[in-house]
Amino acid sequence: MNTHLQLQLKHWLEKDPDPHTRAQLQALIQAQDEAELAARFAGRLEFGTAGLRGVVGPGPMGMNRLVICQTSAGLGNYLLQQVKDAAVRGVVIGFDGRHDSRQFAHDAASVLTAMGIRVRLTARVAPTPLVAFGVKHFDAVAGIVVTASHNPPEYNGYKVYWENGAQIIPPHDKGIAACIEQAATRDIPFLDQSQATKLGKLSWLQDDFYQLYRRGIMHAEVLQSAIPPEGVSLAYTAMHGVGAEMAETVLADAGFNLVYSVAAQREPDGDFPTVNFPNPEEPGAMDLVIAEARKHGAMLACANDPDADRFAVAVRRDDGDYRMLTGDQVGALLGHYLLGHAALDHRLTGTTLVSSSLLSKIAASFNSQTYTTLTGFKWLMNVAIAKSKPENRFLFAYEEALGYTVGDMVWDKDGISALLAFAQLTAELTAQGLTLWDRLEQIYRRHGLHLNAQVSIALKPGTPDIGAYLREHPPEAIAGFRVLETEDLKSSLRRFADGRSEAIELPASDVLLYRLEGGARVIVRPSGTEPKIKCYYELVEPLNPDDSLDSANGRADKAMANFIRAHQASLPK
């Protein structure tokens, strides 16, 4: 074993407070598994705008107690440098139901309180939206959630909110990362919880905090409905996560009494024993809740992901079967519903580049506008905060990956309020003798059937740089559709087919967007680190008077398959 690696191991073992991860490293040393040891010390788990996320295990490339302590020390130093009253305003910390989450959250609290920073720590597991809510409610300087959201069981994460209640964006990510690097070279301060509590630095968020969020949902302007939810039934799953108690409570508060929870998935379980992958988007993940819905003849089969910041739904059809709605379909339905009830000064909506353009058309029909951001709720919410004014208050935002924000109580995606809003929409349609499929068809007949698809393409090692190729050879047509506009976010420039150009007011990013005739769209995101690109496609199919929704969908599916095939064939091999 080389001397440098030996020195790294020695220093790490001296600092690691966890006997379990120390034993794992000792076992690798005894087995003389230098390759595995070198991989675990090949660098440091990167801190970015999503905070940390990785596989739990020893060494600086894994999620473990020492990494959490070093990260918390770095974050604490950055907060003290950037915000003069950071110590007094403090940090809110919560955690999900994964095996290490409670310990990691407690370690973060011990480090921050040792640095003189006040910490409010949830006494039990908490949905991620509650921590975002807590940052705003307590006017805290930051928030931390220990969660890996819907990642596999072996993962955990460390998500950071800034003082505005939204996820961090540049330059804070780089600033915090630099402070973490410095903290990793020093002794980490650590204060026992009992001592921190005696000193007034640590306070526990008990049930009254959870009730604050509950009451906030009850009184939220955008979640008031005069329609009694009689006859509306739904099955629900927390997917072995932390959402069940709050989700069931806010539904009951709003009068939804026909709610059937999947017992086998209701309680937090870090092993996620009944799903291969605890993500509602994955095949099979919704099987149990759909079975529960079918058992009771429920209208909806609803799910939150394990930290309850995402929402997914399958809707009963006339034949009794259930079909999943896409994130874009849920976004269109919720946007249409909320805009239809909102005051004229309460219609600011937002979505991301890779989500459907349908919301912008729905908003225009209500004489309002939709802003567009880069992918991620960190962008959606920070822009929402900047754009929200008394005369144009924020109402709703979503991204296609099942994330929705309803109202401004939480500046992040919130699967619990989205669940309630969707149930209220269902109740209103039921009272009118309509179904969700009827409403979706009405929207499509007015604005066109918007079909969206995403394809990740693994390319051969010798394939040319896709981004560079497309910039050197800008297409005039894609799959037979004429290119009307090309947006290059790398150069922050939008070019039109007639030769005009204009600046794009979005952060620079390696993204190419092509707007085509007929409302079609292609977005290409080349990877700079591996031979892979992601392509996002949108087609707009008009509904003819004699079309049914099923026939139009079938025609659109075929058109999308041809569209994707033709575009991929045009890329360099």
Bridge partner residues of 304 (DSSP): 311
Dihedral-angle region of residue 74 (phi above 0 means left; psi in -120 to 50 means alpha; beta otherwise) = alpha
How far apart are the C-alpha atoms of 260 and 302, rounded to whole Å? 10
The residue type found at 425 is L
What are the CA-CA distances from residue 387 to residues 193, 263, 371, 390, 417 (Å)?
41, 42, 9, 10, 22
How far apart are the C-alpha atoms of 351 and 512, rounded to whole Å? 17
Long-range contact pairs involving 517-525 (C-beta distance under 8 Å, separation at least 24): 517/481, 517/482, 517/484, 518/481, 519/357, 519/448, 519/450, 520/478, 520/479, 520/481, 520/563, 521/357, 522/478, 522/567, 523/353, 523/354, 524/466, 524/467, 524/470
Dihedral-angle region of residue 112 (phi above 0 means left; psi in -120 to 50 means alpha; beta otherwise) = alpha
DSSP class per residue in 34-58: HHHHHHHTSS-PPPBTTBEEEEB-S
Contact 239, 262 (CB under 8 A): no
How far apart are the C-alpha atoms of 208 and 477, rounded to whole Å? 59
Dihedral-angle region of residue 518 (phi above 0 means left; psi in -120 to 50 means alpha; beta otherwise) = left
How far apart are the C-alpha atoms of 249 and 256, rounded to whole Å? 9
Bridge partner residues of 457 (DSSP): 533
Active site amino acids:
149
Helix (H) / strand (E) element for 66: namely: helix 65-82
Contact 337, 425 (CB under 8 A): yes
Residue labelled with tokens 């921190």: 196
DSSP class per residue in 74-128: HHHHHHHHH-TTHHHH-EEEEE-SSTTHHHHHHHHHHHHHHTT--EEEESS---H
